[in-house]
Structure 1
Amino acid sequence: MKKKSSLTLQARAGYMFGGAAQTTIVTLINVGLTYFYTNVMGINIAKVALIMLISRIFDGFSDVIAGVVMDRTKTKYGKARPWILRMVIPHFIALIAMFTVPHTSENLQLIYIFIAYNFANTFVNTFAGLALSTLNSLMTRDADERSQLNALRQFGAPVMELAISAFLIPAANLLGGDQRAWIIVVGIFSLIASLCYFLCFLWSRETSEEERGANKETTSAGKGFLAVIKNKYWYIVLITWIMATFYLTISGTNLSYYCQYLLGNVDYMSIINTAEKLSTIVLTAVAVPLMIPRMGKRNMMLLGACIVTAGHLLTFVAPLNMKLAVVAAVLRGAGIAPCFAVLFAMIADCVEYGHWKTNLRTEGLIFCAATVGQKFGQGVASTIVGGLLDSVGYDGTLAVQSMQAMEMIEKIYLFTPVLCFGTVVVLMLFYRLDKELPRIMEELEARKRTRNC
C-alpha cells in the first residue's frame, strides 16, 4: 500500500516559494553586485572583494548564533517558521540598501557597502536561509518527502535566478544604466522575494514536537557543537556546498566581464544564464522527481557533478564561440538540476545521522552547513575573482581592458566549473549515508518507542 503523504500541496508550494526568495540575495550578489560596484559606481574591484572577504568573519559568528537561536526557539509557529516571517520586511530593505551607495568619497562608500552588505548577507540572509533549510527537516521525517521538498525548493530557486540573470543588467541598461535604474529593477525583485517569503511562512507547517523527535531539554551550545563535529557526513556535505557556491559566485561574477570584454556584449550574459537556468528548471520539474526514488541522493549528486564537468569541457574547444557557450550552459544546467535537488535533503539526512550517533538533535547547528558553506564560499570566491582581476590591472571604468586582464577573465570562465564539480565527484566517492539511513531511521524509531514505554 502506498504511504499517505504528510505534506499538503499548499505546504509544498510554500516551501517552493521560500526557495525562490532565499536565492534572491545570493543571486543578486553573484550576478550583479560586483559589476554594479565596479562598472556603475567606479569602485576598485580589489577593495570590494576585500570587504566581502572581511565580512566572512562576521558571517561565521552570525551562522553559529543563528543556529543556536533556532535550536532554542519555541513558538506556536514552531522553531523555523517564525524566523521566516520576521525576515520578510528586513529582506525587502536589505536588497535595496546594497545598491543605494551614496555619491560621496570612496572611503565613505566603502564603509556604507560594508554595512549594507553585512546587513543583507550576514544578518538577514543568515536567519532567513537557515530557517528555510531547517524547515526541511521539521516539515517531515520521511527521507523521500524531504528530497521532494528540496526538489521543489530547487525548482523555485532557479526560476528566480533565471529572472534575475535574464533581466537585471538588460533592464537596468534599458532604463539608463545608472544607479537609479539599478535601484528600480532591484526594488521590483525585492518586493517579489519578500512576498515569496511571506507565502512560505503562511503555507508551510512544522510537524509536532513528538514527531520531530526533539529533545525535551534544551541542548547546550557546547554539547551541540561537539555533536556536530562528530558527524562525518556533515563535513562532506559542507565542502560540497562550498564548492557549489564557489561555482555560482565565481562564474556569476566573472560572466558579466567575460561577455562584455571577450564576447563583446554584456547582454550575452542573460542568454547564457537563461540557457543554463531553463535547463535546470526543466530537468528539476520533469526528470528529477522520477530520479530521486530510483537513484538515491548520492548517485544523483555524483551524476550531476559529472555532467557539469563533462559538459563545460566543451568550452575549451572554442572559448569565444557563443553557440558553444550556450550548449555548454545547457549541459551545466542539466547537471546542476540533480545536484541542487538533493543537496539540502542530504543535510537533513545528516541531522538524522547526528541524532543517531550522539542522541542529540540539533537541526539549527547542522543546517549551519548550508549557510556557512554558502557565505564562506561567496566571500572567498568574490575575493578570488577580485584579487585575480586586480592583479592583472582590471579597471571597471575602462572601455577596453589589457590583454592580461582579458586572459585572466577567460581562464576563470574556463576552469571554475571543472575544478568545483570535479571536487564534488571525489567527495561523493566517500558518501555512504544513503545506504545507512534506513537502518538509522529504524533504530531512532525504536529508541522513541522505548522512551515512550
Structure 2
Amino acid sequence: MSRKKKDEVRYDKDGVRKVMRIRDYFADSLGQFSLNAISGIVGQLTYFYTDKVGLAAGAIATIFMVAKIIDAFTDVFMGNIVDNTKPGKEKYRPWLLRAGIPAGLMLIAMFTVPKGTSTFQLAYVLITNVILTAILYTAIAVPYVSLQIVRTNSQEERSFIGTWRAAAGYVSGMVIAILIIPITNMLGGTQSAWIKFGVFFGALTILFMLICYKYARESAVDASNTNEEQVVEEVEEQISLMEALNKLVHNRYWVILLVIVFASNVSYGVTAVAGTYYAKWIYGNDNLVAVAGGLGLVPTILGFAFLTPMIKKFGPTKLLKYMAAISVVVNAVRIINPDNFVFNTAMGMITTFAGIPIMALATVLTGMTIDYNEYKYGIKMVGRTSSIQSFTNKIGNGLGAAVIGWCLALASYDATASVATEAVRQAIFTFSIYIPIILNAIMFIGLSKFDLESRLGEIHAAIAKRNAQKEDHQE
C-alpha cells in the first residue's frame, strides 16, 4: 500500500503534475535556513567588530556601506552567469556546493580578525565581508531562488516551497537574533567565543547546503509522462545582459512585481528599526521593544500555520492583495491613539500577520512573470529575472533604513534629549505609521493590476502549442 502511494502520480488543482515530497520541501528549506543564518550573523557584526575587536564604529559603518553597494550589483551579474551556462550543463544546482561550502568556511573567517594595526584589521573586515555577502551569498541566493521556479511547474507546489522556505528562514533569523549574545557570553564573551559560534554555524551551513544539493533538481518533471519521473532538459537561446534587461522592462507584469517587491522591502527596512525609536520616545521605555517582539511571535506562528490554507482559499495574488489592504487599514487606525502601547501593539500584531504571505509568495509571483517571459519572448531568463528581484530586495531594505535617518535628521533629532520634541514625534509617526500606509497602498494597487495568475492557463497552453509546432517542424 505504501509503495503504491509513493509511486502514485499526483496532480494539483490545475492538472499540473506534482513532484515534491515532504523530504524535498524540507531539504530545499535548509538552503533558506543557511542564507538567513548568514545574513543574520552579518547583521550582528557591528557589535562584534566594535565591542569584541575594538574597531571604530564610524569606520565599520563605512565598510558596510561599501560592501552593500558592491553587493547590490553582483546579483545582476550572477543572474547573467547562470542564464548563459552552456547547454547540457546544470545551471543552478552546482552553485549550492560551489558557493555553499566556501560560504561556510568564510563565515568562520569573519570572526577570526587577526591582531595588527586598525588599518590592517579594517582591510580584513572589508575583504571578508565582500567575499561572503557580495560574492558567495549572491552565488548561492540567485541560483537558489531560480530552483524554486524550475523545480516544479505547479503553482501550488511553488507556493508550498515558498512557505517552507519562509518558515525555515524565519526560524534561522530568530535563533541568531535571540541566542547569539547569550551563547557567546556563556562561552566567555570574548572574540574566541564568537569564533566558536562561527565554527558551529559555518559547519551547519555546509551540512545544510550538502543536503539541499542532494535533493535539488534542475528541471520540472514532464507532466505528460505518467510512468516515471523523466525531467525535461530546457535549452534556451543565450542573449546578452542588455538584451535581457530590455525584454524584462517590456514585461509589464515583471515591472509591476518589481514595484510591489520594492515597496515591501522598503517597508521591512523601515519597520525593522522603527520599533526602537517608537518605544523610547513615544512610550518612554525602550525595554518595551522586547515585549512587543515577544508578542509578535504569536501572529508570526499563526501566519505560517494558516498560510497554506489561505493560499488554497484565495490564491497567491488575491491573498497578498487582501493582506496589503489589511495593513493599510490597520496602520490608519493607529492614528487614532498613537501613544498607547497596548493598542498599538495589538495593531502591530495584525500587521505582522498580514506581512507573512509576501515573505513566501514573492518568488511564486516571480515564477509567473518568468512563464510570461517564455510566452512573450520564447525565453524564460530565469536567473536574470530572479536576480533583479534580489537586487530590488537589497536596495529596498537599504532605502528603508535610510528613510528613518532622513526623517530624524529633518526633525533635528537629538539622542541625548530627555524628551522628544513635537518635530521628532511627528518624524517617528511618519516612518512608523504614514510611510507604511503609503507603501502598502502601492502594493495593493500593484497587486490589483497583476492579473497574470488568472491568465496562466491560456499562457501555458500557448507555450505548449508553440513547443509542439517547433518539434513538428524539426521532424
| TM-score interval for Structure 1 and Structure 2 normalised by the shorter chain | 0.7 to 0.9
Which residue, 300, 306, 316 being the options, matches 1:280? 300
Whole-angstrom distance in 1 between the partners of 2:240 and 2:137 = 25
Q: Which has the higher mean CA deviation after the structures are superposed, 400-409 or 438-447?
A: 400-409
Q: Which has the higher mean CA deviation after the structures are superposed, 99-108 or 113-122?
A: 99-108
Which residue, 202, 218, 231 being the options, matches 2:251? 231
Quick check: 1:425 aligned with 2:440?
A: no
Aligned-pair CA distance for 1:143: 2.0
The aligned counterpart of 1:167 is: 179
Q: Which has the higher mean CA deviation after the structures are superposed, 199-208 or 366-375?
A: 199-208
Letter in 2 for 1:23: N
Which residue, 461, 470, 474 being the options, matches 1:442? 461
5 Å matches for 1:30-45? 32-33=44-45, 43-44=56-57
5 Å matches for 1:39-438? 43-44=56-57, 50-73=62-85, 78-98=90-110, 111-169=123-181, 171-172=183-184, 184-185=196-197, 187-207=199-219, 214-255=234-275, 269-285=289-305, 287-312=306-331, 316=335, 323-324=342-343, 326-385=345-404, 392=412, 403=420, 407=425, 412-415=431-434, 417-438=436-457
Whole-angstrom distance in 2 between the partners of 1:274 and 1:97 = 32
Letter in 2 for 1:245: N
1:166–1:274 Cα contact (<8 Å) kept: no
Q: CA RMSD in A?
A: 3.8
Aligned-pair CA distance for 1:121: 2.1
Aligned-pair CA distance for 1:420: 3.3
Q: Aligned in 2, Cα 1:216/1:367: closer, same or farther, shift over 3 Å?
A: closer
Q: Aligned in 2, Cα 1:79/1:277: closer, same or farther, shift over 3 Å?
A: farther
1:70–1:80 Cα contact (<8 Å) kept: yes
Aligned-pair CA distance for 1:352: 0.5
Letter in 1 for 2:264: A
Deviation sequence 1:232-259 (CA, Å, 0-9, x none): 2112222222222223333324545666
| Percent pairwise identity | 23
Deviation sequence 1:204-238 (CA, Å, 0-9, x none): 22226986673354334343233222212112222
Whole-angstrom distance in 2 between the partners of 1:132 and 1:24 = 15
Whole-angstrom distance in 1 between the partners of 2:433 and 2:286 = 18
Letter in 2 for 1:84: L
Whole-angstrom distance in 2 between the partners of 1:15 and 1:228 = 27
1:55–1:122 Cα contact (<8 Å) kept: yes
Q: Aligned in 2, Cα 1:420/1:172: closer, same or farther, shift over 3 Å?
A: farther
Whole-angstrom distance in 2 between the partners of 1:384 and 1:104 = 37
Which residue, 26, 30, 34 being the options, matches 1:17? 30
Aligned-pair CA distance for 1:367: 0.4
Aligned-pair CA distance for 1:119: 2.2
The aligned counterpart of 2:19 is: 6
Gaps of 5+ in 2: 1-8, 12-16, 223-230
Q: Which has the higher mean CA deviation after the structures are superposed, 233-242 or 374-383?
A: 374-383
2:236–2:379 Cα contact (<8 Å) kept: no
Deviation sequence 1:354-381 (CA, Å, 0-9, x none): 1111111210001013311122223333
Deviation sequence 1:165-196 (CA, Å, 0-9, x none): 33344555666766555555555444434433
What is the SS of the residue equivalent to 2:18?
A: coil
Whole-angstrom distance in 1 between the partners of 2:297 and 2:208 = 19
2:331–2:437 Cα contact (<8 Å) kept: yes
Whole-angstrom distance in 1 between the partners of 2:196 and 2:288 = 22
Q: Aligned in 2, Cα 1:382/1:374: closer, same or farther, shift over 3 Å?
A: same
Whole-angstrom distance in 2 between the partners of 1:110 and 1:185 = 21
Q: Aligned in 2, Cα 1:325/1:87: closer, same or farther, shift over 3 Å?
A: farther
Letter in 1 for 2:318: N
2:163–2:304 Cα contact (<8 Å) kept: yes
1:165–1:273 Cα contact (<8 Å) kept: no
Aligned-pair CA distance for 1:55: 3.7
Q: Which has the higher mean CA deviation after the structures are superposed, 172-181 or 349-358?
A: 172-181
Q: Which has the higher mean CA deviation after the structures are superposed, 72-81 or 254-263?
A: 254-263
The aligned counterpart of 2:5 is: none
Aligned-pair CA distance for 1:135: 0.2
Letter in 2 for 1:133: V
2:73–2:391 Cα contact (<8 Å) kept: no
What is the SS of the residue equivalent to 1:429?
A: helix
Whole-angstrom distance in 2 between the partners of 1:217 and 1:278 = 48
Aligned residues, how many? 447
The aligned counterpart of 2:3 is: none
Whole-angstrom distance in 1 between the partners of 2:113 and 2:334 = 37
Aligned-pair CA distance for 1:79: 1.5
Q: Which has the higher mean CA deviation after the structures are superposed, 428-437 or 129-138?
A: 428-437
Which structure's CA Rg is the greater one?
2
2:263–2:440 Cα contact (<8 Å) kept: yes
Aligned-pair CA distance for 1:433: 0.9
Q: Aligned in 2, Cα 1:108/1:377: closer, same or farther, shift over 3 Å?
A: farther
Deviation sequence 1:403-424 (CA, Å, 0-9, x none): 4697566754445543433331
Whole-angstrom distance in 2 between the partners of 1:331 and 1:233 = 29
Whole-angstrom distance in 1 between the partners of 2:435 and 2:201 = 28
Letter in 2 for 1:429: S
Aligned-pair CA distance for 1:351: 0.6
Gaps of 5+ in 1: none
Q: TM-score, normalised by structure 1?
A: 0.82
Q: Aligned in 2, Cα 1:203/1:101: closer, same or farther, shift over 3 Å?
A: same
Q: Aligned in 2, Cα 1:122/1:176: closer, same or farther, shift over 3 Å?
A: same
Whole-angstrom distance in 2 between the partners of 1:7 and 1:209 = 10
Aligned-pair CA distance for 1:350: 0.8
Q: Aligned in 2, Cα 1:183/1:208: closer, same or farther, shift over 3 Å?
A: same
Whole-angstrom distance in 1 between the partners of 2:173 and 2:456 = 32
Aligned-pair CA distance for 1:278: 4.7
1:262–1:320 Cα contact (<8 Å) kept: yes
Letter in 1 for 2:37: T
Whole-angstrom distance in 2 between the partners of 1:34 and 1:194 = 24
Letter in 1 for 2:172: M
What is the SS of the residue equivalent to 2:234?
A: coil
